Amino acid sequence: MASKAHVLPRSSTMVERLNRLYDTIKGDDRLLILINADPDAISSAMALKRLFWRRVTLVTMAHLNIIKRPDNLAMLELLKIPLVHLENIDLKTYSRLAMVDSQPAHCDGLEDLRFDVIIDHHPLGHIEAPFIDVRPDYGATATIMTEYFRAAKIVPNRNLSTALFYGIKTDTNNFTRQGQIEDMRAFRFLFPQANLGLINKIENSEMTKTSLKYFQEGLERVNVRKNMAWVYLGKVDNPDTLVLVADFFMRVRDINQTVVAGLFKDHLVVIFRTAGMRRDAGKLLSRTFGRYGPAGGHRAMARADIPLKNLDLEHRENGEAIEKFMRRQIQDLNRSANLREE
């Protein structure tokens, strides 16, 4: 785990944090920024790249995941964001590595990489880097990056303001999930420069005809207990589909918790959403699924990403066996949450 000296104390001013960040990456460095691409991560990477504009030799943004969600693709296209997959990157070209809106421990295949900068709003994991700025009480990493801009006295251009604005908007779900006064301040700061027309176009690109079948399956197979809806969708072509279905069920009036699970490649992905619960969704999911693989998140939203090889199942590829496993885990999750009869 990173030593305390590496993690910036909360008492640090933003100017102090900015200067520490600038001191970590030197003028002759070539910086690679890695993300799991979603609106918050994409906009935060754009912001970090802008902070080092003309300060270093090269800055490149690369994503670890496969981007298939139509709204994310629309964001990249409409805002003209240059993003490449890590598979197409020669790591030897870069002298410094950064990660925003995630941490190496949350991602597969990064064990051998040494990071220099980590900026995130997810709970602090086992990480080590010269510069770590992790603030789990913030609703979005884009908020943190906006604060760096204000400390640097930089007004982001229209596309970057739009991206950061959208990143905060999505990760706080219009401030219905976890959010702080800092998120509101960043939102107001970005509003005059953001292109709301482009944001509307991006948001209206959320679903495709392919994703409709998963909504149909979800409606046909959903299990409802008290105020929770949960469903196992089997194999999915993209784990982001699980997020869309989980958010969809959260719109039902009498539902304030949803769990949607599915198989993506050789992993069981579990999405957990809550509203109005006093207990922390991230801690609950970690307690229930953490023994099998990475699991955690925030008070209102959490995710588990479990390698199938970690499941003690006789037939791991058997849908019925995995659904029975999920049913047991949901029971454990309910007990942990101490759900009340309505």
pLDDT value at 220 more than 90: yes
Mean pLDDT of 158-180: 87
Q: In angstroms, rounded to a whole number, what is the distance separating the alpha carbons of residues 26 and 55? A: 8
Q: Percent of the chain having pLDDT more than 70?
A: 91
Q: In angstroms, rounded to a whole number, what is the distance separating the alpha carbons of residues 332 and 110? A: 31
pLDDT value at 3 more than 50: no
What residues are paired with 33 via a beta bridge?
61, 98
Sheet holding 257-264, edge to edge: 223-225, 228-235, 257-264, 267-274, 301-307, 295-297
pLDDT of residue 316: 56
**What CATH number does the domain located at 209-337 have?**
3.10.310.30
Mean pLDDT of 120-131: 87
pLDDT of residue 313: 67
Task: Name the band, by pLDDT with cuts 50, 70 and 90, for residue 323.
Answer: confident
Residue written as token pair 């008070």: 299
CA 306 to chain centre: 16
Mean pLDDT of 5-27: 83
Nearest CA to 261 out of 247, 242, 289, 288 is that of 242
Per residue in 260-287, pLDDT (tens digit) is 999 988 889 999 998 866 678 888 998 8
pLDDT of residue 340: 39
Per residue in 237-248, pLDDT (tens digit) is 888 889 889 999
pTM listed for this prediction = 0.73
Domains of the chain, residue spans = 14-203, 209-337
Instruction: Return the CATH fold of 14-203.
Output: inorganic pyrophosphatase (n-terminal core) (3.90.1640)
- Phi then psi for 306, rounded to 5 degrees? -110, 120
